[in-house]
Structure 1
Amino acid sequence: MTMHVERLELVTGGARPQPKHPPAKLVATIGSFDGLHRGHQVLLQETIKFAELEGAESALITFDPHPRAVLTGAKDWAYMTPLQEKIEVLKTFGIKRLYIIHFTPEVSALTPQDFIELFLTPLHIQHYVVGFDFRFGHKACGRPEDLISDPSVKLTIIPPVSTEGEQQKIASSMIREALMNGDMDTVRHLLGRPYRLRGTVIRGAGRGHTIGFPTANLLLSDPYVIPGTGVYGVTVESGTLFSEERTPLLAVMNIGTKPTVEKDAKLSLEVHVLDYTGDLYGQELIVSFFFRIRSEQKFPGIDALRAQIQKDVQFAKERFLWYTSLGSEKP
């Protein structure tokens, strides 16, 4: 579906950023939304619901880069949903407008009232939908109630969304931890979808071809959170390569340093597409993670490595067949 995407920047001298053609009425939710997990999705659903009831357009207002990356000075901040991935995922939810505030130290220094005046007032927001822990403004001193100094503006505060049978609220930190542990069942449960990486296939050493399991080396398009080292059952898709329908193909991905064949190597991401013999070089692939097969291991030699990869591939085929038999969580 079509979604209006617009960037908003703090203008030198403190003048208001001027959005292009803002709607007369807007229902909006605000936050970083890294991961767009099930807790975030409740905010999206409520925002869309109120927009439909009130004859307004729905909007999500987010920040880029992530505020924590700016406030901590982190140069290597990793995202579960980098901006382009966030845009692609948001399109599937039905949000009409996405406003991206360029987050800078100057933006972080704004008082809550200045932030509202400069960024929110020009958008004609008549109803805010935010989480119970939403904070904004300098040193996060602004609270949800500060958004509605105008009595005509409505505010809906969404309580924490918890995992089934537990009291702990769904949080991005939980998903990051599960990714580091390779716990893709938990990741998929908390996200409501498989975790994805996007990147371009580059040339590697070609060892996979020599042992009968050609692999595509993936150069990530953005600074993603990379799952913990190990071998995973994944699917890959590319609208320009496999089919117009972007039908996912089954694959096995290794994330690690290839200790059997290299010493002190950098972390690499290699994917072996099952039963596929075409040339992948230069193609953009989207990799979706479904399960972890095993941890990374160092084998005594190439023959032992080849035998284990054969087992990995067979395990992946059987596991994907099981998913398909379930019908509800098939890739």
Structure 2
Amino acid sequence: MQVINLAEPFNKSILPTGDVVLALGFFDGVHRGHQAVIQRAKSEAKKHNVKLAVMTLDMHPSIPFKGVKPQDIKYLTTLGQKNKLFESLGADIMYVVSLNDLLVKMGPQEFVDKYMVGLNARAIVAGSDYTYGKKNIANMQILPKYAKNRFEIIKVKHLNDKEQKISSTRIRKALLCGDIKCANELLGYHYQNNGKVVHGEQRGRKLGFPTINVAVNTQEMLPAEGIYVVKVEIIGKNVLGMASIGRNETFGEGRKVTLEINLLDFSQMVYGENVVVNWYYKLRGQVKYTGPAGLIAQLEKDEENTRNYFKKIR
């Protein structure tokens, strides 16, 4: 898949030639609703024997349009994760559009001319609530006015789950509650976090449950505090584990939230390695113990429950 970054003003010479079907959206999470949009665009591209292009943005639109501070945004998927997911859905081209000042100030007609017609779109596919600027003047209902019959417009209806719209907002709420099962059902795959193995306090080793400490990008959303069943992609392996998101209050108050993972049947030194954490199930909430003995007993139960979980899903 070809990845093309577009920052206003961009040079048209970087654009590939030939018509495309263009799927539009921010696609945070690339959840089942987003997948339906991209799959509809893919079938349209096959029908016309053209390439499928997917357009996303380099930041959450609420930052420039609503004044939200960048540090206050927690993403479900990084651009790197979107890249992999778009490619798995059959995209040929990924456009990453920079939401710089010039683009934010651009009117809807100019945006359509440059970022739809200008990208050789013979058809545009988007969710029915997609906007390409201020909602009241740049929505899907008004798009035919700006399109001027130069491309086909395909609106994809919301996909529902349990009679509610599948949305990034619902997934965030599920993660904030630690409801991994719900989040994964809405995503259509296991929620992931990317991180790097860093040095910790090595307390787990003394307890008989050595852990890796994972530093996750601050803009990625972590599930709620608790103990979880996970699979970790590390040095080319998929390793079962039990993850703890919490403050280790058994060993003191006022500690920062950390992500520690006890990898089962794995003992290699992996400091500095990049990992992908796949979240499967929440075992329990965090508990403050009076001392190490109670914690060790609980960890033994957690390991047993983790192993049983994976036996069951096999």
2:50 equivalent to 1:56:
yes
Q: Residue 178 of structure 2 aligns with which residue?
A: 182
Q: Which amino acid aligns with 2:244?
A: N
Q: For residues 74-113 of structure 1, what are the structure 2 equivalents within 5 Å? A: 74-76=69-71, 77-113=73-109
Per the alignment, in what secondary structure is the counterpart of residue 94 of structure 1?
Answer: coil
Q: Which amino acid aligns with 1:195?
A: Y
Whole-angstrom distance in 1 between the partners of 2:91 and 2:195:
26
Whole-angstrom distance in 1 between the partners of 2:224 and 2:35:
25
Whole-angstrom distance in 1 between the partners of 2:159 and 2:204:
44
Q: Residue 42 of structure 1 aligns with which residue?
A: 36
Moved more, 109-118 or 32-41: 109-118
Q: Which amino acid aligns with 1:33?
A: F
Q: Residue 327 of structure 1 aligns with which residue?
A: none
Q: Residue 134 of structure 1 aligns with which residue?
A: 130
Whole-angstrom distance in 2 between the partners of 1:292 and 1:112:
44
2:145 equivalent to 1:150:
no
Q: Which amino acid aligns with 2:280?
A: F
Whole-angstrom distance in 1 between the partners of 2:5 and 2:281:
36
Decide which of 254, 265, 271 is 1:275's aligned counterpart.
265
Shift of residue 203, structure 1, vs aligned partner: 0.3
Retained in 2: the 8 A contact 1:252–1:271? Answer: yes
Aligned residues: 310
Q: Which amino acid aligns with 2:21?
A: V
Whole-angstrom distance in 1 between the partners of 2:42 and 2:102:
31
Retained in 1: the 8 A contact 2:231–2:241? Answer: yes
2:310 equivalent to 1:315:
no
Shift of residue 253, structure 1, vs aligned partner: 0.4
Whole-angstrom distance in 1 between the partners of 2:26 and 2:57:
6
1:293-315 residue CA offsets vs partner (Å, 9 max, x unmatched): 10011001011111111111111
Q: Which runs of 5+ in 2 are unaligned?
A: none
Q: Residue 25 of structure 1 aligns with which residue?
A: 19
Shift of residue 109, structure 1, vs aligned partner: 2.2
1:275-305 residue CA offsets vs partner (Å, 9 max, x unmatched): 1111121111110000001001100101111
Q: Which amino acid aligns with 2:25?
A: G
Retained in 1: the 8 A contact 2:247–2:256? Answer: yes
Q: Residue 242 of structure 2 aligns with which residue?
A: 252
Whole-angstrom distance in 2 between the partners of 1:18 and 1:292:
49
Whole-angstrom distance in 2 between the partners of 1:302 and 1:228:
23
Query: CA, structure 1 residues 102+259, in 2 after alignment: closer, same or farther (shift >3 Å)?
Result: same
Q: Which amino acid aligns with 1:233?
A: V
Q: Which amino acid aligns with 2:230?
A: V
Shift of residue 87, structure 1, vs aligned partner: 1.0
Q: Which amino acid aligns with 2:128?
A: F
Whole-angstrom distance in 2 between the partners of 1:111 and 1:251:
50
1:43-89 residue CA offsets vs partner (Å, 9 max, x unmatched): 01011100010011101111111111333231321100011111122
Shift of residue 145, structure 1, vs aligned partner: 4.7
TM-score, length-scaled by structure 1: 0.90
Retained in 1: the 8 A contact 2:140–2:155? Answer: yes
Q: Residue 68 of structure 2 aligns with which residue?
A: 73
Decide which of 163, 167, 185 is 2:163's aligned counterpart.
167
Retained in 2: the 8 A contact 1:181–1:227? Answer: yes
Q: Which runs of 5+ in 1 are unaligned?
A: 325-331
Whole-angstrom distance in 1 between the partners of 2:82 and 2:64:
19
Shift of residue 255, structure 1, vs aligned partner: 0.3
Q: Which amino acid aligns with 2:302?
A: D
1:215-271 residue CA offsets vs partner (Å, 9 max, x unmatched): 111111461111000000000012xx2xxxx34110000001111013211110011
Whole-angstrom distance in 1 between the partners of 2:76 and 2:88:
17
Decide which of 295, 298, 308 is 2:285's aligned counterpart.
295
Whole-angstrom distance in 2 between the partners of 1:187 and 1:83:
19
Q: CA RMSD in A?
A: 1.5
Per the alignment, in what secondary structure is the counterpart of residue 296 of structure 2?
Answer: helix
Q: Residue 208 of structure 1 aligns with which residue?
A: 204
Retained in 2: the 8 A contact 1:251–1:273? Answer: yes
Whole-angstrom distance in 2 between the partners of 1:31 and 1:21:
19
Moved more, 70-79 or 32-41: 70-79
TM-score, length-scaled by structure 2: 0.95
Q: Residue 328 of structure 1 aligns with which residue?
A: none
Decide which of 8, 28, 33 is 1:10's aligned counterpart.
8
- In the TM superposition, structure 1's runs of 4+ consecutive aligned residues that sit over 6 Å from their partners are none
Moved more, 29-38 or 114-123: 114-123
Whole-angstrom distance in 2 between the partners of 1:295 and 1:69:
33
